[in-house]
Chain A
Amino acid sequence: MFKPRPKQAEVLAYRRGYMGVAAVPGSGKTATLSYLAAQLLAETELAEGQEILIVTLVNSAATNFARQVSEYVKGDGLLPGYGYRVRTLHGLANDIVRGMPSAAGLDEQFTVVDERESNAILGDAVEAWARRYPEAPDAYLAPEYVEKGRYRTQKWAEILTETARNFIKQAKDNLLTPLDVGSMIEAYPGDLLLAEICADIYRDYDRALDYRGAVDFQDLIRLALKLLRDEPAYLASLRRKWVAILEDEAQDSSRLQEDILRALAGEGGNWVRVGDPNQAIYETFTTADPKYLREFIASDEVDGRELPNSGRSTRSIQKLANHLIDWSLAHPHQTIRERAPLSKPHILPTPRGDPQPNPADDPDAVVLFAEAYSATKEALMVTESCRRWLAANPEGTAAILVARNSRGSEIVKFLRQSGVPYVENLNSTSSTRAVVGALSRVLGYLADPKSAGKLAEVYRVWRRDERDEPLAVAEIKAVADTLRRIGKVEDLVAPRLDDWLEDMLAEEDDAQQYGDLRDFRQRVGAWLRAAEMPIDQLILTIAGDIFRDVGEIATAHMVALYLARLAQTHPLMRPPEFAAELFDIAGNRRRFTGLGDDEGQFDPDAHKGKVTVTTLHKAKGLEWDRVYLTSVNNYDFPSAEANDSFIGEKWFIRDDLNLSAEALAQLAALQTGSAYQEGAASLHARIDYAAERLRLLYVGITRARKALTITWNTGRGAATEATPLIALRAFWENEREKARAREPQP
């Protein structure tokens, strides 16, 4: 049972009105919020249809939240979910819009295109635009690239896509239609070339969505807010329905999310926002800003609270994190300092007698490497360290944190080569990819049914439940090898004159294998016959035959729906194309996205004795005994200094312009009617990015319970140690020095 500590009890004393809570990492904010939800449910006499609305950031967190609340509120013989609803912002917007689609100009059957589809539509729009205006790159390519064909076409299209995506997103966040943007451009006194380009692409992109009767995620949120503003009666009914709103991870709320929740709560309504402004890591080119939460907590109408105690990490790790806050408040770069990327409160240990005491302190377990390793050397060093530590701590948990997925994949290769047990939490989890991989193999075979090699793969998939049994492994391999050598696959799977299986029996007389292959043949035969079914039905059929685990079946179901959506928008896709799509997801080359992506919350404690490779973004909310924080160089963690490079500034674009930032600045100029100065936005973007990366570093440090190792690499040769890391190391060496001085001399 949840036993609140004093600061948590203050939050749990909430009954009505607005409350804002600033929490530190590991302070139990989600548990506190879940418990508050359960407590409100127990105490509130809900009328039919009334609920407490809980809003959180990502699907996995929503799932986790729902489970936690339902644990607290079991009883009464009711079906789960009575009296509360947990939603991400997209899920909530979807609920709101589906409640009144026609007023939002949508048909009942409107579809939501996922990230992949939206990118594909945008890609088409950009390509068409670039063909119409082949001279356009002249305005932005750096002189040495103007004449290079690849830069005029491929690279230009890439950066234009990225720029247009950010522009469209921002325009939608600002509730501007393509028509609005067009009129503003006409009315603006000067020329805003990027805005004009992006407005053209926005118009084409929007038309393409229109034609499909579809909306994208931004539309969903925009339309939800529009409904709340335009339909007062509907808003009133939603206010009646959602008697209280509890918002988790509020530091990453976009302005629109805040507007939507403020509208739903209403003046004098019930709204609790909990978040850690220091962990705001989704702000680049969005309208999110941790300052909104800070301002909310500080405002007069709000009961402001803190959850400063955390039992997660050792004191040493907490000290390091706290020092990063202090250092950022005195940041050497004035503009970053003024942006206050990190703010107090400091992380405090849990009080004495707390059910979650801090782990015993071990200052030696905090190591900040100064050496300039190459990327390979860094990976090798971390791999070797992991290997040794896991051997000594088979019950421990460890993670390697990376800033980018691609770096994660590189490190995975080293772990695999060294035989270090690992689990991935990169684009998608290993378990999701295992399911997708199995399906892609079967689908791959159906796309090429005469291939004996692919049939052998299907056999492995068919016996995947036995892959951990040493005896079976050898046998499966032997049979798969035999199948791989079959000359005429049809003689096994669809025999007419010759029957490979009967011949084999005659030769080898292995009754068990015969029976096994007969079953296999029957299954494959059914799939061959089913190959023409709509893709979702085909996937469900296969899944029903090869998966037993409920989670796997659920994932397969998501895959079925995902492919069905693809089929709807790409009517010419057939088994080979579907198989290729799944193959890309299984190989981590494509993200498995969408509202239906219900990947479960990653649980580090379920992977004891293995090291998790994860991006920093995906590590949020998670903790491990030992953490390796890698690549802390001035490429992944820049500080707006002269020698820093910025991902948003492409080498082939003139004058270090960050085109996305410039396009957004032009949009802002259009809206406010103010003057636009080229280059200013690019400089400003460096500050924003540096601030966000500082918070990301803070997130990384605070994932560690007992041990933390920070390393950096020289990237492609030119990267240097990140400025904050230099500061942290100096601080830590000083601390160690002081500690040594305090130690009794022998």
Chain B
Amino acid sequence: MTGWHTLADQASGPLTAAQWKLVSAPLQGKIWLEGVAGGGKTSVGAARVLHLLGRGVPAESILIFVPQRSLAQPYITALRGWTAHRGGQVSVQTIGSLSLQMVETFWFLVAGDAGFKHPQDLPNFLSLELAQYFMTRAIEPLVDQRDYFNSVRVDRPRLYSQIVDNMNKAAIVGFPISEIGARLKSALASGVEQAHIFDDAQTCAVAFRKYCLAHNLLDFSLQLEVFRDYVWAAGLARAYLRGRFKHLIVDGAEEDNPASHFFVNELLQSCESALIIYDRDAGFRRFLGADPDSARSLRDNCDLEATLDETFVMEEAVAALGAGLGAQLGLPVKAERDADPAPALITEAHRYHPAMVDWVARQVDILVHERDVSPNDIVIVAPFMSDALRFGLADGLAQRGIPLRSHRPSRALRDEPAARTLLTLARLAHPHWNMPPTNFDIVFALMAAIKDLDLVRAKLLTEMLYQDCRLLPFAKVRSTAMQERVTFDLGERYDRLAAWIDRYIDGDRVDAIDIFFRRLYDALLARAGFGFHDDVDAGNTAQNLVDSARGFRWSLDFMSRYDEQIDLSQDYVKMVDRGVIANFYLRDWIADAEEGLLIAPAYTFLLNNRAVDYQFWLNIGSDGWSRRLFQPLTHPYVLSRGWPPGALWTEEDERNLSRETLGRLLLALTRRCRKAIYLGYSELSESGFEQRGLLLEAIQSLLRRYARDGQNV
């Protein structure tokens, strides 16, 4: 065993002989590694990077390429132990980050050819929220004037996000955006009424693209197209990237899109070594454009194919359950009829949703406190994690003293109390916006801003001192007795806040909104005696809000040279209210060292890629377990690479897709479970609907089959 072997082992646990063989493969050669979850593929990848480094490969010549940044976490963790730097850093990229860097680098060489109206000016890259914002500006007048989309019922922010989504799909698959409408129409339009909405969607996409070209804006789709069709095609980036990256590690290839695969394939032509990791049963991000079939084509350019199929995780009963459910749903897995899945399945039926939530909390309590299971070894998953479900669980577990962490990939920033406080104070500080906060918004803002201020005193202060949209000084309280009720200590802090805002209003400078947030935070809210002091969550939220507002300002500042002036700050707050901005503030979730039981949507848990002893599957009656997200203006499968032009998307396609999706999901979940699965079932969903999803049907059929076969399930 070499020293590097030891280091690799330390990074990812002890490796089997099969794994080590792949890690220590020659430095020239391209390996295609496929297998099932729990087989140790990523461990091989992480150890391989260290192995390369240990063999003297310069770090900067290594590219780790993943579909989303969180999937690179095992690599980043492994590299933390690597201190012997030589030649810079290992590069971790996604297609988004890489294309952005390349377009930025080669901008002035390609902007004119790519059709931008101002090739001499800098480009402005748009985040998803900014793309939606500019879409609002570019096409809303069109939608209103021409009565577009009049046969669909979708709120505006979602409508625009679907048009953005169509454009992104076109870019990652590689067809022109002018084909979006025709593709959707030929597959989906069942009547005249539906057909014209796809025409509308097409018109809007083209209009938005024109707007972007006229204003040097690059949404993700345009960024990718410019990268592929101009930067890469012109050979500029190609020469640069081929020259730099000689060793390629691609993990989660099945979760990535055809544009990524095209790029990887191009690099494969020139690199010295490559390891491409592919999970045979995954492909969970299809709705985001993941294309496992396109990934599979990379295999043709590899020299060596390897498989890691032996799972290190499941007990026999869990394996039998996974296989049984998979077979039930028509997946080509062998149902292990010899093994009894009974010990792996624990369930109890409830009529009401809260009763189910309570049952879950009790079962977790028994596991943790009576059977000494670590909360880290338990996960609670559901197809969607609503506020109420999350809150019910958090409350039930907190009462039992069980630490937990929950993760929701998207959470509206405006729902965070810290963000709301900043927004309320911003309205207060900008009376010329004519957007005065309500009395209760002031009450809540004071409560959050002033440490130890309770609701009663916040209400007293607001009633006495919030007049004509201004906070009067504490001295204006009529009687000393009333001042004493609030206490002078709190009164003094209130005064500092009120005075700060007053000074701002009376001052001669109006800050940009992000700078206002920043100043308010630094000068006051983060100080001792105020609400954000020592509050990491509030600090993070404030930072996110600042980032979002700054991105907005930069983009609009940038636009000001082409477009009319508007009050950026006021428009920002309005857009937050409308749900266009800061609605789904997507943050890459990096699996961290947090301790506690994890509550998360099922797919989030899967992309976290770790195994636990016990899983709780909640709301097993929900359709969300098997169904794709239905959106009237877009369709991830019809707009995918493999969809035959002109073919009609049928009910049978939909059904087969649901079954396959669910089958894969269940297999993936059971492969990440060691001991048992608890099924949370209530006849009525959270919203009071009776639930009859495919998962429930599959479980009922399995139970019935085993009951009939004499298995005592």
- B689 engages A91 (CB within 8 Å): yes
- B387 engages A78 (CB within 8 Å): no
* Chain B CB within 8 A of A561 CB: yes
Interface size of A by Cβ–Cβ distance < 8 Å? 85
- A107 engages B154 (CB within 8 Å): yes
A272-280, A370-378, A489-497 - the one binding chain B: A489-497
* Chain B CB within 8 A of A575 CB: yes
- B689 engages A85 (CB within 8 Å): no
Report how many A-B pairs have Cβ atoms within 8 Å: 208
Q: Cα distance A215–B155 when bound, in Å?
A: 11
Write the A650-680 contact mask toward B (1 if CB under 8 angstroms, else 0).
0000000000000000000000000000000
Write the A73-89 contact mask toward B (1 if CB under 8 angstroms, else 0).
00011111110011100
- A108 engages B630 (CB within 8 Å): yes
* Chain B CB within 8 A of A142 CB: no
Q: Report which of B391, B651, B701 forms a contact with A231, defined as CB distance below 8 A.
A: B651
* Chain B CB within 8 A of A23 CB: no
Main secondary structure of the interface of B (DSSP, over half): helix
* Chain B CB within 8 A of A419 CB: no
| Min CB–CB distance A242 → chain B (angstroms) | 11
CB neighbours (8 Å) of A95 from chain B are 692
Q: A105-B194, A109-B158 are in contact. Are A490 and B683 (CB under 8 A)?
A: no
Interface size of B by Cβ–Cβ distance < 8 Å? 82
Q: Cα distance A209–B454 when bound, in Å?
A: 39
CB neighbours (8 Å) of B703 from chain A are 76-79
| Min CB–CB distance A276 → chain B (angstroms) | 26
- B697 engages A108 (CB within 8 Å): no
* Chain B CB within 8 A of A110 CB: yes
Q: A79-B696, A79-B700 are in contact. Are A210 and B652 (CB under 8 A)?
A: no
* Chain B CB within 8 A of A596 CB: yes
- B631 engages A102 (CB within 8 Å): yes
| Min CB–CB distance B696 → chain A (angstroms) | 7
B108-116, B210-218, B437-445, B605-613 - the one binding chain A: B437-445
Q: Cα distance A306–B585 when bound, in Å?
A: 62
Write the B418-461 contact mask toward A (1 if CB under 8 angstroms, else 0).
00100000000000000000111100100110001011110110
Interface residues of A in 160-191 (CB under 8 A from B): 177, 179
- B631 engages A108 (CB within 8 Å): yes
Q: Report which of A107, A532, A558 forms a contact with B153, defined as CB distance below 8 A.
A: A107
Write the A44-84 contact mask toward B (1 if CB under 8 angstroms, else 0).
00001101000000000000001000000000111111100
CB neighbours (8 Å) of B650 from chain A are 233
- A576 engages B631 (CB within 8 Å): no
Closest to B713 in A: A77
A125-133, A533-541, A729-737 - the one binding chain B: A533-541
Interface residues of A in 230-283 (CB under 8 A from B): 230-231, 233-234, 236-237
- B193 engages A105 (CB within 8 Å): yes
Q: Report which of B197, B452, B455, B689 forms a contact with A528, defined as CB distance below 8 A.
A: B455
CB neighbours (8 Å) of A106 from chain B are 152-154, 630, 632
* Chain B CB within 8 A of A560 CB: yes
* Chain B CB within 8 A of A681 CB: no
* Chain A CB within 8 A of B629 CB: yes
* Chain B CB within 8 A of A213 CB: yes
* Chain A CB within 8 A of B666 CB: no
* Chain B CB within 8 A of A398 CB: no
- B652 engages A233 (CB within 8 Å): yes
CB neighbours (8 Å) of B621 from chain A are 81
B93-101, B305-313, B345-353, B563-571 - the one binding chain A: B345-353
Q: Cα distance A51–B347 when bound, in Å?
A: 22
* Chain A CB within 8 A of B522 CB: no
| Min CB–CB distance A231 → chain B (angstroms) | 6
CB neighbours (8 Å) of A102 from chain B are 188, 630-632, 635
Q: Cα distance A706–B151 when bound, in Å?
A: 56
CB neighbours (8 Å) of A494 from chain B are 454-457
Q: Cα distance A561–B386 when bound, in Å?
A: 11
* Chain B CB within 8 A of A2 CB: no
* Chain A CB within 8 A of B507 CB: no
Q: Which of B153, B632, B690, B698 has the most CB of A within 10 A?
A: B153
CB neighbours (8 Å) of A103 from chain B are 188, 190, 194
- A557 engages B188 (CB within 8 Å): no
- B631 engages A107 (CB within 8 Å): yes
- A536 engages B651 (CB within 8 Å): no
A348-356, A445-453, A604-612, A719-727 - the one binding chain B: A445-453
Interface residues of B in 211-239 (CB under 8 A from A): none
Q: Cα distance A48–B703 when bound, in Å?
A: 12
CB neighbours (8 Å) of B151 from chain A are 105, 177
* Chain B CB within 8 A of A544 CB: yes
- A66 engages B153 (CB within 8 Å): no
| Min CB–CB distance B175 → chain A (angstroms) | 21
Interface residues of A in 476-490 (CB under 8 A from B): 488-490
Q: A103-B190, A107-B631, A494-B454 are in contact. Are A540 and B392 (CB under 8 A)?
A: yes
CB neighbours (8 Å) of B629 from chain A are 108
| Min CB–CB distance B55 → chain A (angstroms) | 50
| Min CB–CB distance A251 → chain B (angstroms) | 24
* Chain A CB within 8 A of B191 CB: yes
Q: Cα distance A596–B689 when bound, in Å?
A: 7
- B683 engages A81 (CB within 8 Å): yes
- B440 engages A575 (CB within 8 Å): yes
- A230 engages B455 (CB within 8 Å): no
Q: Cα distance A91–B387 when bound, in Å?
A: 24
Q: A213-B158, A554-B354 are in contact. Are A541 and B391 (CB under 8 A)?
A: yes
Interface residues of B in 323-375 (CB under 8 A from A): 328, 347, 349, 351-355
* Chain B CB within 8 A of A553 CB: yes
CB neighbours (8 Å) of A212 from chain B are 155
Q: Report which of B191, B651, B692 forms a contact with A234, defined as CB distance below 8 A.
A: B651
* Chain B CB within 8 A of A550 CB: yes
Q: Report which of B355, B420, B456 forms a contact with A550, defined as CB distance below 8 A.
A: B355
Closest to B688 in A: A596
CB neighbours (8 Å) of B631 from chain A are 102, 107-108
- B197 engages A233 (CB within 8 Å): no
Q: Cα distance A533–B417 when bound, in Å?
A: 8
CB neighbours (8 Å) of B438 from chain A are 572, 574
- A66 engages B455 (CB within 8 Å): no
Q: Report which of B197, B484, B485, B687 forms a contact with A595, defined as CB distance below 8 A.
A: B687
Interface residues of B in 488-511 (CB under 8 A from A): 489-490
* Chain A CB within 8 A of B625 CB: no
Q: Cα distance A66–B683 when bound, in Å?
A: 10
| Min CB–CB distance A546 → chain B (angstroms) | 13
CB neighbours (8 Å) of A213 from chain B are 153-155, 158
Q: Which of A51, A86, A230, A540 has the most CB of B within 10 A?
A: A540
- B632 engages A557 (CB within 8 Å): no
Q: Cα distance A204–B349 when bound, in Å?
A: 45
Q: Cα distance A234–B191 when bound, in Å?
A: 15
- B456 engages A490 (CB within 8 Å): yes
Q: A66-B683, A77-B703 are in contact. Are A450 and B456 (CB under 8 A)?
A: yes
* Chain A CB within 8 A of B280 CB: no
* Chain A CB within 8 A of B535 CB: no
* Chain A CB within 8 A of B660 CB: no
Q: Cα distance A94–B654 when bound, in Å?
A: 18
| Min CB–CB distance A145 → chain B (angstroms) | 38
Q: Cα distance A135–B74 when bound, in Å?
A: 73
Knowing that A490-B485, A531-B455, A532-B417 touch, tell me 5 more A-B residue pairs with CB under 8 angstroms. Answer: A98-B623, A103-B194, A106-B632, A213-B154, A550-B351
A-B residue pairs in contact (CB < 8 Å), sample of 6: A76-B707, A87-B690, A212-B155, A496-B487, A550-B355, A560-B388
Q: Which A residues form the contact surface with B (CB < 8 A)?
A: 48-49, 51, 66, 76-82, 85-87, 91, 94-95, 98, 100-103, 105-110, 177, 179, 209-215, 219, 230-231, 233-234, 236-237, 446-450, 488-490, 493-494, 496-497, 525, 528-529, 531-534, 536-537, 540-541, 544, 550, 553-554, 557-558, 560-561, 564, 571-572, 574-576, 595-598
Q: Which 8 A-B pairs have the closest CB atoms?
A: A596-B688, A233-B651, A494-B454, A213-B155, A574-B440, A105-B152, A102-B632, A490-B456
